Amino acid sequence: MSQMNPAASGRREADRFNKGGRLRVLLRRPEVGAFFVMVVVIVAIAIASNGVALNPLGLKNNLSIIAQFGIIATGACLLMIAGEFDLSIGSMIGFAGMSMAMMLKWGLPFGLGPATPVTAFFLTLAMTLAIGWLIGFTVVRSGLSSFIVTLAFLFFLRGLTEVCFRLINQSTQISGLPDYKQESWFAWIFGGESFGWLYDLWFALGGNLNRAGEQWVTGLDAKVVWWLLIAGAAAVLMARTQAGNWIYATGDNRESARANGVPVDKVRISLFMLTAFCSTVFAACQVFDTNTADAAKGNLKELEAIAIAVVGGTLMTGGFGTVLGVVFGAVTFGLVANAVFFIPAIDGSYYRVFVGVVLLIAVFLNEGVRKRITGGI
């Protein structure tokens, strides 16, 4: 000890953790990888489409699909942070859409008379939440992987949807429902328009013109508001509430969370109900917007929701991820999905090629970010 370095004697273990400056702190945010991927995609698509993707109509169409993705990906993200998967999201969308459209066309079950958008929605929501609870309860009680349990429900619900359609409707499609959003405010909040003021303002400022020089687009889809509400509520929940801490704790290490008194089973069941809720909102927006339903609706949406959550920086094994990252992921994914419409030169099937490439790039970036934050776990 005679050779002791005087500089080392005053050092403590805590000094080894370099907090860094403001930029370093920003670069350690878990969303940073997702953010850069999103910026690159926005710029690339704006250039490749000659700005068409960001003109009034392009923005409306893009945000419509981004909002759809965002709604289900938020639920999938929270569930993944808690360490579980839900592969039944797509089938749940199909089931909820079928249920609402069928009640609107054929009336409420058990001869309760004709349905209104309100009764159709809430009866459907009650069913989907019950199914979500059942999925969660099965996972928690059986100890089986949620992958398997929800895979079973993927088949079960899709099959059930088709059977119900054929038995009652004689066809797997319903189209030509009345345009409920014109009369019912409740249908309007799902299928109507939002942010009309923004487009009015755009017109007033001299943009948003059609060929005749009149106002071109009147507003965004109502689902954009649902997306912002759900994502905002989820972001606050995760960052600032006790429930958020429980969700992170459940997904990081379930046994240590349980040892500290976190009700891990309740947390997981509630989140399976949340994904069911998000699927139902997704379906309601679709039904009240287009006044149609189809047994194939929502097909593969569960995988897209998981992919968006992962692009947004959510860790597949749980315990890590943010809602803001998933917002960036949804924007990225939605733009890529829609890109083929704005860039006419390319084949529509390039969509999946892009998605695959973006998914891999984002995951590599996110891995790097996560290792920096968590010390290489």
The least distance separating another protein from the CB of residue 237, rounded to whole angstroms, comes to 7
Burial of 338 (0-12, 13-18, 19+ CB in 10 A): buried
The Cα–Cα gap between 362 and 354 comes to 12
Least distance CB 30 / another protein (angstroms)? 10
Q: Which is nearer to another protein, 134 or 373 (CB)?
A: 373
20 or 178, CB closer to another protein?
20
State which residue, 146 or 250, has the beta carbon closest to another protein: 250
Q: How many CA atoms lie within 13 A of 301 on its CB side?
A: 31
Closer CB to another protein, 214 or 255, in the complex: 255
Q: How far is the CB of 215 from another protein (least distance, A)?
A: 41
Minimum CB distance to another protein, residue 157 (Å): 29
CA end-to-end distance (rounded Å), the chain: 35
CA distance 272 to 99: 19
For the CB of residue 6, give the shortest distance to another protein in the complex, in Å.
19
User: What is the nearest approach in angstroms of another protein to the Cβ of residue 310?
Assistant: 16
Distance CA(51)–CA(81), nearest Å, equals: 36
Burial of 23: CB neighbours in 10 Å, binned 0-12, 13-18, 19+? exposed
For residues 282 and 298, the answer to whether their CB atoms sit within 8 Å is yes
Which residues contribute to the site for another protein (CB under 8 A)? Answer: 12-15, 17, 19, 237, 240-246, 248-249, 252-253, 255-257, 259-262, 315, 319-320, 373-377
What angle is formed at CA 65 by the lines to CA 59 and CA 67, rounded to 5 degrees? 90
If the CB atoms of residues 244 and 312 are measured against another protein, the closer one turns out to be 244
> In whole angstroms, how close is the CB of 268 to another protein at the nearest point?
13
Nearer to another protein, 13 or 214 (CB): 13
| Amino acid identity for residue 132 in this structure | G
User: How are beta strands 293-294 and 220-221 bridged, if at all?
Assistant: unpaired
* Residue closer to another protein, measured from CB, 104 or 234: 234
Burial of 295 (0-12, 13-18, 19+ CB in 10 A): buried
Nearer to another protein, 111 or 375 (CB): 375
Q: How is residue 17 annotated by DSSP?
A: S
Least distance in Å: CB of 262 to another protein?
A: 4
| Token pair belonging to 339 | 């890109």
